Each structure stands twice: as C-alpha cells, then as structure tokens.
Homo-oligomer: A and B are copies of this chain.
Amino acid sequence: MLSKKTKYGLKALTFIARTGDDVPVQVSAIAKSEQIPQKFLEGILLTLRKAGILGSKKGKHGGYYLRSTPSDIKMTDVMRVLEGPIAMVPCVSLNYYEKCDDCPDEHACSVHKLMIEVRDSTLKVFRNKTLGDLSQV
C-alpha cells in the first residue's frame, strides 16, 4: 500500500508544479486545496526539502518551491524519498541492499528472482515519469 505520506507528497508536488510561478507556495494553500491535514503536510514538505527536491523561504510570504523544473524531477527520486526503497525486499534493493537472515543462497531463492523482476518493471515506470508528466492536465 502506498502510504498517505507519499500520496500527499505527490499531490503537493503536483500542486506546486501546477502553480508554476516563481512565488513560493504556502503549506496552508496546498493543505486546503488538496484536503491534507496541514501539520502532517508540513512534515512531508520538510522531508522533500531536506532531500533537495523542494526549496523553502521562511517568514511572511514564504513557502515552498521546486528546486528543478518539473520535467527534471524524476519519480524514482521522489518515491525513494517519500516511500523508501522501490524494491519489495531489501535483498533486491539497489540503494538499500541488505542480505536476508534466512536465505543461505540468494541466487537460489525463488522470491529473490521474482522480486528482481518486479523491481525492474516498477523502476522502468518511475524512471520514465517526471513531475512534469504528473502535473500535466
């Protein structure tokens, strides 16, 4: 299941991308328009900023803005920041690899082989999708 965090994060990014201007977008505006609990959203946008996807401006008339043009923001990056590893098991994760406790031999593991295929097919989707695609009407 996709977490609410990811869902909200994607919606927020889309909203910011659609706004388009150079002025920062306030959390309150996003929260209201997308029906997201504001305090919860604050944390999500903070995460995206720390990951370098969003920039922020504090104080009055502050808010969040994209650090790159939407078509340069790849879903692989966004999803990894919001949802974590794309692989369904650590032993097939490219960025967060971890050996299974059980599996004596990874290459003989049926689950491993299956999950590599799932990972690759999901990666293909995320690599070919940018925020620009998402925010197109």
Contacts and interface: CB of A to CB of B under 8 A. Distances in A.
Interface of A: 1-2, 7, 10-11, 14, 34-36, 75, 88-89, 102, 108-111, 113-115, 117-118, 121-122, 124-126, 129, 134-135, 137
Nearest to A89: B2
Contact of A111 (B10, B121, B122, B126): B10
Contacts of A114: 10, 75, 125, 129, 134
B75 A111 contact: no
The 7 A-B pairs at the shortest CB distance, nearest first, are namely A110-B134, A2-B88, A14-B110, A121-B121, A35-B102, A117-B125, A10-B111
A115 B2 contact: yes
Contact of A10 (B11, B110, B126): B110
Q: Name, among A11, A122, A125, the residue most crowded by chain B CB atoms within 10 Å (CB to CB).
A: A125
Nearest to A78: B114
Given A111-B134, A118-B122, 7 more contacts: A2-B115, A7-B111, A14-B110, A34-B102, A117-B129, A118-B126, A121-B125
Contacts of A125: 114, 117-118, 121
